[in-house]
Every structure is written in structure tokens, then in C-alpha cells.
């Protein structure tokens, strides 16, 4: 079967198909974006709760300067598969605790992603919203996205009155708890949603094209062909030809 795009029916099918593609594409984009944002918000909430739990769980061990206990807590929690990094940095940017033993003792640039939120012209902010403490990044261009959230460890009276006397009363922020969670599962869900939307769009276009083709064939093409045939009869002088039509629309009136 040869399809001619000069015919009204094919033009109508093409226009409607393009309209459907645009509508589905716009709907899919905003739908997937909204779904992804909701999932990320949930991961963000979970990571923040986990960060608070870790901070409270290590508080008394830090006050007692039981570093080995803090290490054990960090390492046990870091065994969760979705956690890509978990570490505690002091105010100077030195990594004190980490699930990656090889980075303990290293210095982190205060302008780095895990530090910049707590420092404005080298002055720590008193309070940070969860949005200011969250960042999304990639470890390398080919890796999945990672959500990182920092939780500043603020100085308290129990800290500067602790037996170790490690911190002065004037120090506002003692350090930062930095946790990074993989977003690979969310990326997979988003990719699968995109693929499903493409498949649904293709099926919708095919179904609409079939329905339109049948409608055009019965409602437009056949009546128009009868009109063309009748016109040809008139052109050769046959004025007795009649078109049998019970339609009451414009084409029926024309017949």
C-alpha cells in the first residue's frame, strides 16, 4: 500500500500524530521530573534522619573521647549498600572519621562541596536549612548521581565543659557530618519511566492512526471519491448520475 502525504486523510493523521507526540512528550517530561523530585526528596529526608541518628549516636562517645567507638558506629552504618561515603570532618577540614580508611587525616578544601554551605567568608552560619545542606553530584562523568547531605556539629555547653577540653566556648561549629547516598536506583526508575512513556506514546500514536484511518476512509475518502466520480460523469455530459447519500453533514449536502 502506497501512502501519499498529498491526501487529506494522511495529512490529518500526520497532524494528529504530531500533536499527540508533543502532548505526550510534555506530559512525560513534567511527570518524570515530578516523580524524580519526589523520590529525591524522600531520599533527602531519609539521609537527613540517618545523619541526625548518627550525630546523636556518637555524641556521648565524642564527649568521652572514645574514638574507637565512634569509628565502629561509622563503619557499621557505612555497610549499608546505598551509602557511598560517610565521614566526620573537623572545623579545619580534616577528615577525622570515615568509612574509607585511606582518607582519614586528609584535608578537605573548605570551598569543596561538603564545606561551602557552612562557610560564608570563613564565618560559619548559625543554622542551615536542609536545602542548603544538600547537594547532588557525580563522582565521575560516567557514574550515577549521588546525594550528599551535611550536618554541622555545633558546639554545646557539654562540649566545652567535657574533660578533654578540646573545644573552646567561643567555637560555634566543631565539625561536619557528611553522608553521601547513591541515587542509582532513582536514576533507574526515571530511565524506566522514560522508556515506558515512549512505549505508551508509540502505542497511542498507532492506535490513534488506525482509528483516524478508518474514520477518514468512511467519513471523508469514500464520500469525496463519490463526489469526484459524479463530477467526472457531469464532465462527460451525463447529467442523470445521482449520488445515493443519507448523510446530513456538509458532504451529504454537497452530494
- What is residue 6's three-state secondary structure? coil
Of the listed ranges 142-151, 154-163, 186-195, the one predicted with least confidence? 154-163
Average the pLDDT over each of 72-86, 117-131, 146-160, 231-245 and give the range with the smallest value.
117-131
Contacts 24+ apart (CB under 8 A), 54-60: 54/86, 54/151, 54/177, 54/179, 55/151, 55/153, 55/177, 58/88
Range 1-10 average pLDDT: 61
User: In this predicted model, which residue has the larger pLDDT, 255 or 146?
Assistant: 146
Contacts of residue 120, defined as CB under 8 A and 6 or more positions apart, other chains included, come to none
The verdict on pTM exceeding 0.75 is: no
The pLDDT tens digits of the residues spanning 100-137 come to 999 988 888 666 655 555 555 444 545 677 777 888 88
Confidence of residue 182 (pLDDT cuts 50, 70, 90): very high
For residue 247, pLDDT beyond 70: no
Residue 95 has a CB neighbour count (10 Å cut-off) of 19
**Three-class DSSP category at 106:** coil
Asked if residue 205 lies in contact with residue 21, where contact means CB atoms within 8 angstroms, the answer is: yes
Instruction: Name the pLDDT band for 139 (thresholds 50, 70, 90).
Output: confident
Amino acid at each position: 500500500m502506497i501512502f501519499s502525504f498529498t491526501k487529506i486523510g494522511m495529512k490529518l493523521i500526520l497532524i494528529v500524530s504530531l500533536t499527540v507526540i508533543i502532548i505526550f512528550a510534555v506530559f512525560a517530561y513534567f511527570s518524570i521530573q515530578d516523580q524524580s523530585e519526589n523520590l529525591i526528596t524522600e531520599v533527602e529526608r531519609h539521609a537527613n534522619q540517618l545523619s541526625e541518628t548518627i550525630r546523636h549516636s556518637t555524641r556521648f562517645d565524642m564527649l568521652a573521647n572514645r574514638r574507637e567507638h565512634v569509628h565502629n558506629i561509622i563503619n557499621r552504618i557505612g555497610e549499608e549498600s546505598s551509602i557511598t561515603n560517610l565521614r566526620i570532618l573537623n572545623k579545619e577540614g580534616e577528615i577525622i572519621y570515615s568509612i574509607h580508611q585511606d582518607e582519614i587525616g586528609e584535608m578537605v578544601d573548605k570551598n569543596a562541596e561538603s564545606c561551602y554551605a557552612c562557610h560564608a567568608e570563613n564565618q560559619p552560619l548559625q543554622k542551615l536549612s536542609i536545602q542548603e545542606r544538600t547537594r547532588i553530584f557525580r563522582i565521575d562523568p560516567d557514574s550515577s548521581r549521588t546525594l550528599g547531605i551535611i550536618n554541622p556539629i555545633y558546639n554545646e555547653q557539654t562540649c566545652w565543659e567535657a574533660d578533654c577540653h578540646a573545644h573552646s566556648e567561643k567555637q560555634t561549629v566543631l565539625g561536619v557530618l557528611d553522608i553521601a547516598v547513591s541515587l542509582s536506583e532513582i536514576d533507574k526508575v526515571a530511565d524506566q519511566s522514560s522508556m515506558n512513556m515512549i512505549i505508551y506514546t508509540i502505542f497511542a500514536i498507532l492506535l490513534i492512526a488506525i482509528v483516524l484511518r478508518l474514520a477518514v476512509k468512511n467519513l471523508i475518502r469514500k464520500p469525496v471519491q463519490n463526489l469526484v466520480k459524479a463530477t467526472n460523469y457531469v464532465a462527460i455530459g451525463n447529467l442523470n448520475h445521482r449520488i445515493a447519500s443519507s448523510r446530513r453533514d456538509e458532504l451529504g449536502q454537497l452530494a
